[in-house]
Amino acid sequence: MTFTELDSIAANLIDGQWRPGSGTATIAVYDPATGSRIAEVAPASIADADAAVAAAERAFPEWSARSLSDRVGFLYRMRGLLVDNTEALARVITSDQGKTLDEARGEVARAMDFLETAIAAPMLYHGENINVTTGLDARRVREPLGVCLAVTPSNFPVMNTVQFSAWALVTGNTLIIKASEQDPIASSAAIRLLQRAGLPAGVLNLVHGRADVVQHLISHPSVRAVSCITSSPTAKAIYAQAAAAGKRVQANGGAKNPIVVAPDADLDRAAAGIISSSYGMAGQRCLAGSRVVVIGEVYDALMAKLVAGAEQIVVGAGADEGVTMGPVVSAASKERIIAALAEAEKLGATIVLDGRRVKPTGGAETEAGYFIGPTIVAGLDPREPVEQRELFGPVINVHRVDSLDAAIALSNDTEFGNAASIFTTSGAVAAEFERRVRAGNVGVNAFPAPPANVTMGGYGESFYGDSHVCGAAPLDFFTDQKLVVSRW
């Protein structure tokens, strides 16, 4: 799959047909590595959004009536298409989102993991059959909801598109995807591949657009459920609007993920773990570490290892050989991070390693790219708003404390609660941290990224809604349970 094959890349998929949106104010798409315009999206109008809902409504009766094994067959074919097109799809991701090719290949592999988990749905579709009394039986069955909406993020445009599609479709629902306007090409490429599995028209639809399109779709009376992964303010707004309209909601928000390093930790392992967590994908992962809390006298030694390791990262265009960190996704993201670092300096922080000065590989071609190198900030009061905010970039704030109690308190001093990690060689310390830290995903000497078949989810401002997005939780989210009582 190449860009020339994706000749209608900026189109909406409505009722099985790819067509330009009829909305106004086209959305420009830029290559994050060069800052050059690579596409323009003609966004959906409100009429286009209504047409997508109508198509999904029409497709629902026939699709939901298919057997579960039949729907699983479509997912098998989708997985085969991802396998056959991994490299081409990875290159689309890198050009559109900015991550390295290795990271993009990993995203496609992760998308296949989610498909495989949904393919296992028949193993989870067990109803209850109860003999209430002589001649009276009760059974519980699952039924699909109807038309669902998924609003996908910019950091995993393919993985999340596939993830939501797999579970919504295998459970018998029809789906509308609203792709991120920052990197809609990759989402479009994924949907084009999924369509090659032979999905009936209207089962899976794609629209492009801005907040007005999302708000209209959320409010549409025929939309039964809303899934999204986004920033916390947006997740909160989507949850409030959808819940007020009686929709089922899973809204994943932002994070401020602490990594605690205990005095007895293996410092080489800790430094490598922090660098991988915080600088992988240029810090644009919901589980990325951004607040490092060091207990006691190991602070200086760890800081030296962090600086040395971060300086080994090669920053440049994600498609270039040898590059280990690409740009952030947009000019706005780069500007936000630069502004936050300037604010931290004014508050007295020390920029130990300054990513604003990075010189990406690639020469003149990358001069206009959205590059921020690995950045380490020290001496910033953790109560300052700029430290409390999610930057979503390759920046860590390092703090020194005197005890495990203080480290746990600082870890919990955030409105978020997505992930938290600790590096230690003590089982007792790890158990105490695991018990007391307020986070939905906890790592011990590891990055807490769960496999696709295990439920993950955040606390506090990191999650709003009814059910999380991984493991078997989507089965409950995308189905209603009906109780049938019968006497014969």
Q: Work out the number of other CB atoms within 10 angstroms of the CB of residue 241.
A: 16
Residue 106, classed as helix, strand or coil, is helix
Cβ contact 148:173 at 8 Å: yes
User: For residue 157, what are its two tokens?
Assistant: 């445009």
b/e sequence 171-210, b meaning 16+ C-beta within 10 Å? bbbbbbbbbbbbbbbbbbbbbbbbbebebeebbbbbbbbe
Q: Work out the number of other CB atoms within 10 angstroms of the CB of residue 282.
A: 36
Q: What gap in Å lies between CA 399 and CA 421, rounded to an integer?
A: 15
Q: Work out the number of other CB atoms within 10 angstroms of the CB of residue 333.
A: 23
Cβ contact 478:144 at 8 Å: yes
Q: Which residues neighbour 226 within 8 Å (Cβ) at sequence distance 6 or greater?
A: 148, 149, 150, 151, 218, 238, 242, 247, 248, 249, 250, 251
- Using alpha carbons, select from 223, 215, 221 the residue that is nearest to residue 240: 215
Q: What gap in Å lies between CA 462 and CA 468, rounded to an integer?
A: 11
Asked if 470 is an active-site residue, the reply is: no
CA dihedral 224, 229, 233, 238 (to 10 degrees): -10
Q: What gap in Å lies between CA 466 and CA 482, rounded to an integer?
A: 18
Q: What gap in Å lies between CA 380 and CA 297, rounded to an integer?
A: 19
Residue 343, classed as helix, strand or coil, is helix
User: For residue 466, what are its two tokens?
Assistant: 């009814």
Cβ contact 108:86 at 8 Å: yes
User: For residue 463, what are its two tokens?
Assistant: 């999650």
Q: How many residues does the chain have?
A: 488
Q: How buried is residue 58: exposed, middle or buried, by Cβ count under 10 Å (0-12/13-18/19+)?
A: middle
Q: CA triplet 461, 413, 462: central angle to 5 degrees?
A: 15
Q: Please state the three-class secondary structure of 313-341 as a single string.
A: CCECCCCCCCCCECCCCCHHHHHHHHHHH
* Catalytic residue, candidates 148, 228, 286, 470: 286
CA dihedral 322, 325, 331, 336 (to 10 degrees): -160
Enumerate the active-site residues. 286
